[in-house]
Copies of this chain bind each other. A is one copy, B any other.
């Protein structure tokens, strides 16, 4: 990338929209990047009710336009179901934006909406940044580009699936629940062997549910409702554990997650040579790690905008050199 585009220059002024687990993670991530500073936290709640860990102004989201020239990149920390489809195109009118939109099936629609808004306003919008989509997408694309003759496998976990936990909570009689997605060790080993196994949904992951019942609820009925639930559980081996609210708080409040992207393929005469490419993450805090990825791509958004780029980008459109604080020459010397 060209020099003089912000590398070693001005601080990148970051805004956060939404101060939940992810927003708090971005606050930490900005501190961990020497060329960034947090300019403001924007919220749809009463700003007086939001107390950031650091000394940073809290601003009503409705007043964001006043910060147009005081924020270089806005990192959107809302959810993919209802927040981001609306917010990312809307705030791309005011700022360069980065989001972690993760509803895979709706990415093309979201891309089109953000692209139109960002192009019209002359901003850069980077969507679907995080670990999946995000770093796992990178692993899949690089591995596919290199091993053209092969098969892809993505395993998630061990970690909490928010969507599956929510699905359990909607069952009558359930007060609270956490659902862990767990890769099946034998499936992982089969994939790593390079044998390109065909694996059913059931063979790849198991699901573990920790459920707190309402008083007087029928445990057997709840368990049946879980394990037979289409799409979410019926295609998996699912175990259900009924526990107390105290135990759920004590043992299942963590936000750890992770997973594996593996591509195995073959080359050469009669495809005799097998190769296995594996990328994995083991994360103590899903939101704090996602926030780190968002911060790196906020730097890219800032630099791309400084170069005159406009419109929507994903991690697949951005060269790695845009992500780090080091200059290209430093990268070639130290990390290439």
Residues of chain A at the chain B interface (Cβ within 8 Å) = 1, 25, 28-29, 32-33, 104, 107-108, 111, 128, 133, 135, 137-142, 144-149, 192, 194, 267-269, 272-285, 288-289, 291-293, 296, 299, 314-321, 323-325, 328-329, 331-333, 335-336
Contacts and interface: CB of A to CB of B under 8 A. Distances in A.
Nearest to A254: B273
Contacts of A138: 142, 320
Given A141-B335, A274-B284, A284-B273, A148 B329 contact: no
Contacts of A25: 267-268
Contact of A194 (B33, B144, B277, B282): B282
Given A146-B292, A281-B277, A104 B336 contact: yes
Contacts of A108: 329, 332-333
A277 to B, nearest CB: 6
A135 B268 CA distance: 20
A52 to B, nearest CB: 13
B332 A111 contact: yes
A144 B335 contact: yes
Contacts of A275: 281-285, 288-289, 292
A140 B331 CA distance: 10
A19 B32 CA distance: 48
A144 B324 contact: yes
Nearest to A323: B145
Given A277-B281, A279-B278, A335 B140 contact: yes
A74 B192 CA distance: 34
Q: Which of A280, A288, A332 is most buried by chain B, counting CB atoms within 10 A of its CB?
A: A332
A231 to B, nearest CB: 20
A138 to B, nearest CB: 6
A280 B281 contact: no
Contacts of A139: 279
Given A142-B323, A276-B281, 9 more contacts: A32-B148, A141-B323, A146-B289, A192-B282, A267-B288, A267-B291, A275-B285, A316-B332, A318-B319
A23 B149 CA distance: 19
Nearest to A319: B319
Contacts of A323: 141-142, 145-146
A302 B230 CA distance: 47
A107 B335 CA distance: 11
B333 A32 contact: no
A148 B33 CA distance: 7
A29 B128 CA distance: 31
Contacts of A274: 284
A239 B291 CA distance: 46
